[in-house]
Chains A and B, each alone.
Chain A
Amino acid sequence: EDQVTQSPEALRLQEGESSSLNCSYTVSGLRGLFWYRQDPGKGPEFLFTLYSAGEEKEKERLKATLTKKESFLHITAPKPEDSATYLCAVRPSGGYQKVTFGTGTKLQVIP
C-alpha cells in the first residue's frame, strides 16, 4: 500500500527565516509526486508535480526537490501569507489513478 509521511507536523517560523518541509514516500513505482497548499476551510491549491529523482521546480519563494525516497519543499524568506498546510501526495505508476495524500505540515509564519 502506498504511504506518504510528512514532517514536521507543524512548523512555526519568523518572517524571513528559511526552512524545509519533508515528504517521505513508499510507492510501487512513482509516476508523480505533488505538492499542494491548503488554507483553512478551503480546497487544496496545486503547486508542483515532480516526475523523477533529481527534478526541481520553483514558484516564488517555494522550491520542491525529489529523490528516490523523499521530497523537500524549501521555503526561502517566508512571509505571513505563506502560512498554510502543505500537503504532499503521490501517484503510483500503472493505470490506476489513485493519488494518496500525506497528513500535511501546518506552517505558521510570524511577522
Chain B
Amino acid sequence: DTEVTQTPKHLVMGMTNKKSLKCEQHMGHRAMYWYKQKAKKPPELMFVYSYEKLSINESVPSRFSPECPNSSLLNLHLHALQPEDSALYLCASSPRDSLYGYTFGSGTRLTVV
C-alpha cells in the first residue's frame, strides 16, 4: 500500500459545526503532516507529527485541533471555523522526516458557510 487516504473528499460545514478530517497511511511512515492549500496558492504547513508526537504547530488558530491516535492515523478536528478557512486540506506522510519527500493524499475540499 503506497497511498495516503483522506476522508471525506468534500465537506460543507456551518460556522457553528464540529467536524473531523481523517488521514490514514499503511506505509510505516513515522512523520505525518497537515497542509492547507487555497486556490492557485502553494500548500502551507499547519502541523507536523513525528513518531506520533506533535513537533511543529505553525501558529495555527485553536479552532483547528490535530490528533495522532497511532502511527497510521492522523485527524484534524474542526470547530467554529470561518469562511476564510475554506480550502483544500492535504495530509502527507514521509518515512522519518520531510527530507525523504512527502506522499500526499488527494485532500479534503472544505467549504465553510
A interface, CB within 8 angstroms of B: 31-32, 34, 36, 41-46, 49, 87, 89, 91, 96-99, 101-104
CB atoms of A44 and B104 under 8 A apart: yes
Inter-chain contacts of A91 with B (CB < 8 A): 98-99
Contact among A44, A97, A102 for B98, CB-based, below 8 A? A97
Whether, in the assembled complex, B16 has its beta carbon less than 8 Å from a beta carbon of chain A, the answer is no
A46 to B101, CA, bound (A): 6
**Are B56 and A97 in contact, with the CB atoms below 8 A?**
yes
Interface residues in B78-113 (C-beta closer than 8 Å to A): 88, 90, 92, 97-107, 109
- Which of the four size classes fits the interface of chain B? 20 to 34
Give which listed residue, A32, A44, A46, A97, contacts B43 with CB less than 8 A.
A44
**Complex interface: chain A residues within 8 A of B43 (CB):** 44, 87, 101
In the bound complex, what is the Cα–Cα distance between A102 and B42 (angstroms)? 6
Q: Enumerate B41-60 residues with CB–CB distance to A below 8 Å.
A: 41-45, 48, 50, 55-56, 58
Q: Flag if A49 contacts B42 (CB, 8 Å).
A: no
